[in-house]
Each structure stands twice: as structure tokens, then as C-alpha cells.
Structure 1
Amino acid sequence: MCGELAAGSARLTATEIICALDNCGHPDAADRVLSELASPSGPLAHRGAVMACFRKVNYRHFDQRQLKALVRALHDSSGAGPVGDQVDPLRRHLATVHPEHARALLGRGTNQAPVRPAVRPVDSRLPAAATLLAAAIRRVTSRIRAVEPDGVCDTSVPTALVTEALTCPVFDVRLYAAFLLAATPYRAELADAVAAELARPVTVRHEELAVPLLEALRILGDHRHRDLLQSLAVAPGVPHRVAYAAVRGLGHVAADHPAGDFLRDAVAHHHAAWLRGGDAVSAATLESLVYALGMASRDDLLAEIRAGTDVLPAARTAAARWLDIPGHRRASALL
């Protein structure tokens, strides 16, 4: 049933639906996850499959046939696309749990499963992202003392959550850590600290640094941080995955208060980028923009996308899904 619900490249909840299979030990659930990993019905379902694999590997849900299929899919993956940052951590995680496959996953020179790194390997021409990330974490966590200035309160838990939210290689662990932080008195201070890190030009140049910060801001941020997200979503020279992460935040941070014609301009900007490159990240960015349009109740732009003949088909389908939701349901969901 989960597989049927997730089918369709524009299913808005495909990530959650496929992810729900991570706790199911039935062989059919493992087959469905592997199917979405190797030949995804859409980018959201693909994200769900990658996320589900981490736990299914831990729970030993894959039999030998399925395990070989998983190893083959990860070996053949280029690591490109909107969830490319999860492919290498999954390879390393699988190699740790099943060291007999480490050589196939990590190369001929591998004799044992390596320790999982906190961040992805980075471009050697740039400063080490891991070093920059460690410094960013120190600056962000220092803001916790602004809420507990007397030093009486033990801040080890929120500090650990900040570290998890910004460094864990598993997307949904970062997400859950951010949700926990959002429920604390530290939310506003931490959101401002994360935004301050994203305002640094060096941060934006490093996907490994900017993407987890943007994911955290998507949960912690409010209307004060909307302008920053809008700027990063369309600024020239911003790496594709960084722009994608910023666009994903547009549907969550003050989503019902877009500035002026920004959303129209953003659609035009990313539509042109997709026409030029046609890559998976550009396509996923357009689909995420459709989500932002729906959350902003921009039916005019949704209708234009649905009617466009040269628009990404998945974006057209997603726009049609939004427009098909009865008005009273959409209004109640946005309250």
C-alpha cells in the first residue's frame, strides 16, 4: 500500500510514505525500498528510500539477494542529484555493518570498514569544510548562554542536539534534532546564530556547511530569516544544492508572507536553470518551489505552471495536485 501511495513523481508526501517502510521487516517492503532507490518514481520517493536504507541495514531487513542489489545500486550511483549528499554516508554505513562488502562499496584498497566521517569529502581547492563546520558549531552553541547567562543550567543536551542537527550524515536524524531544538527556549537565539553563519560568504561556497545550516533554519527560522532564504534561493553563483536547500525552506519559513514578486521571479530563475541543465537538482528545486507556491496560496502561479507546455512535467503534476485540493481544506491546513 505504501508503494502505491508513493507512486507518481509529484506525490508530495512520497518521502514520508517510503520512509515508513524502514521499520517493516517484510521482504516486500525491502523490495519496494530498493526499487525506489534504483529506479525512483520521483525525487521525493528517492529521498525516502535512501533514508529508509540506513535503518533497514541496521535492522538486518535485507536478505542476501536484496543486500547484493543494495550494494550494486550504491556502487553504481554517481552521488549526484538532490540526495547525493546521503549516498556516500550510506555506502560507509553499509560497509561498517557488512564489512564483507566494504571493498565493493569503497574501493579495492579497503581492507576494513572505515570510521564514518561527519561530513562528505570536499573539493581540495577549498578550505576544509569540516574545520569550518566545527567553528560554526562553536559559534552557534555559544548563543545558548544568551538564554542561560548565569551558567547554572547544564547546556550539554542542547549542545549535543546542535551538533547532531549540523553534522549527522543521516538527513532525518538532523531533522529530528532540529525539531527538538525548536521546542526549547533556545530556538530564536539558535535561529539567529544559524542565519549569521549563512550570511558568511565562505559558508555558502561549501555545500557541506551550508546545506545542514539551511536545513536547520528551515525548522528553527521565522519571518526574520525569510529574506535570507529568498536571497540564497536565487543569488548568482550559489551552488545548486545550496539553492535547493534554500528553496526547500521557502515552504516552511514565513511561507505565507513572500515578498512582492519574489516567487514569480524565483520560478522564472529556476525554470531557466532547468532548461539549461536539465539536471536532477534543478528539477527537484522546481518541484520544491511548487510546494512553496502552494503554501503561499499562489494559485495564479500554480495555474501558470500547470498550463505551461515547456515546464518540468513533475512540476506541472505537482501544481495540479495543489489546485485540486479543495479550498477549505487548504485554508484549514495553513492555519
Structure 2
Amino acid sequence: MTTVAAPAVPPSLSLPVIEAAFPRQLHPYWPRLQENTRSWLLEKRLMPVDKVEEYADGLCYTDLMAGYYLGASDEVLQAIADYSAWFFVWDDRHDRDVVHGRTAAWRRLRFRLHAALDAPADHLRDPDPLVAGFADSVSRLFAFLPDTWNARFARHFHTVIEAYDKEFRNRVEGRIPGVDEYLALRRLTFAHWIWTDLLELGAGHELPDSVRKNPAFRRAALLSQDFAALYNDLCSLPKEIAGDEVHNLGISLITHEGLTLEEAVHELRRRVEKCITEFLAVEPDVLRLADRISDGPAVRACLANMRNWFSSVYWFHHESGRYMVDSWDDRSTPPYVSNEAAGEK
């Protein structure tokens, strides 16, 4: 594995327990991963050439995946990293469609993504690069495990698309969801179960329902994803306030619980730290489960990568240009995005 020099972390975002108890490593394939994903973004026309050249490496999308799915084969990691890069580009298109009021464009994209998910081979030449790129990445992900895993992944991602549509409507209407509603929706827009499904790809083994639905395994998976989503909210809060966002736990707390900005940040930190504490408490239960069953090696591999998610997400937020709002010319417009939707200005 490759070790990496750590950047400085602002005190307000520093989590000493992550830095001490969750050592960070990168998959040894990472340098080629970065190069190949950059080429894939260009080949699939997912980002303009000038944006790829100037920003792709600094966005650190491949670093995030290379720090998560350790032990995966190079081919699996490449497929996951390309899919992850696509996901970020999709998220940016969704954001720009909201900002520019492109409701019809978003509706078309939503329906085409559902169709491409059900039959990716039929959409590899879709005129919208985002749909074609999605079809390509999903086709590759579907090549590694049985059809039962593919069907589960598709089922989970259909719900993600619909959650993005719910967020689109909330943002267009300026509607800030309440705390509980937000947290439920966030687990879908952050794609908690997609990244958890992909742990099995990394382990090269489809887990049976009895393992995936085991309370300890499911709890550990959920905590690792909740940590990532909440820490993202904490780090994104300045960017999303600047962009008149409505989807951030901090914004929901301020709006519906009457907290000040300082109190909301404190509450976000408390929830983030609780995810870490509870994960450390449930981790031994998952290891005991692994000791009892024939799927034990895959369970251990998945658990180890749930743990890696904490450190990978943490450092990603302090290395990626995606969160360096203070360096942008316009704090509400990321410099790495294109404001054009497919076929529209």
C-alpha cells in the first residue's frame, strides 16, 4: 500500500481520532488510476478538455476511491473510480440544472438514467455524454458479480435517481426539509447503499442476505456512510450557504431547530464524532460474525474498507479542490463545472 503525506486541517474541521486511529493508505494502483480516469473523462466527454487538464487531478476523485476499496483488483478499482468520477459530474449537472432552472433538461436526464440503468448496453451511444458515460460505467460494474448483485445495485440506484429528483424539486421551490426528513433523504442522495454494495465488488464476493442484513454488519456500514455524509455537510456548509442551498443538515438545523450557525456547526461535529465512536463499538461484533461464517474473509475485507472510508473521506475534504471555496472567483460557482446542459446554453 502507498502512504500519503497529510495536509493541514483547519481546527474547526479537525478530528484527531481519525488522524490517530484510522491510518490512511492508497491502493498501489492509484497513480495509474488517476491517469486512466482522467483519460476516461475526456474520452466520454464528461468534462471539457480545459477543465480536465486544469482541475481533474486536483479534485482528487480517484484518491477518494483508492483510499476506500483497498484489496480490490486493478480492473475493479478502475471501474469503481470511473463510476465515482461520473457521479461527481452528475452531481454538478444536477446542481447547474437547479441554478439555471433547467427543469425540462433535468426531467429528460432523470428518465434516461433510469432507462440506462435497466439496459446499459442499449445506451452506450446516447447523445448525452452523461447518459452514455453512465451506461459505460454501469456495464463495467455489472461484469464482476452475479446477476443478483447487479439487480440489487440497479434497485438501489433507481432510488438514488428519485432522491435527486426530490432534492431538485426542494431546491427549485426553496424548500428546506426538516431534520429527520433531510437525514432520510441524505442517505439516498449520498448513495449509502451503492458504496456499500461496491464493497462486495472490492472483496470479489457477493454476500448473502443473512450477512448484509445482520444488525452489526448493517450498522457498521451505515455508520461509515453517515460519517461521510455528515462530514461532507460540515465541510460544505460555507459553499452551500454561499450557493443558496437548501440541502445541508446545518441549514436544516438553523431553519427548523432555531440554531445559530455556530451551534449548527457544533451539532454537526457532535453527530460526526458519534458516528466514529459507534463504529468503533460495533466493529468487534462484525469481526465476531466473520469468525463464525464461511463468508468470513469477505466480511473482514468489507469491514476493513468501511474503516478505510473514514480516513479517505476525511482527507479528501482537505485535499480536493471541490471544497476550496475561498480560492474560487465566485463562491457560488465551482470553477471546474460547465454551466451548459447537453444541447442547451
Does TM-score exceed 0.5, indicating one fold? no
Which is greater in Rg?
1
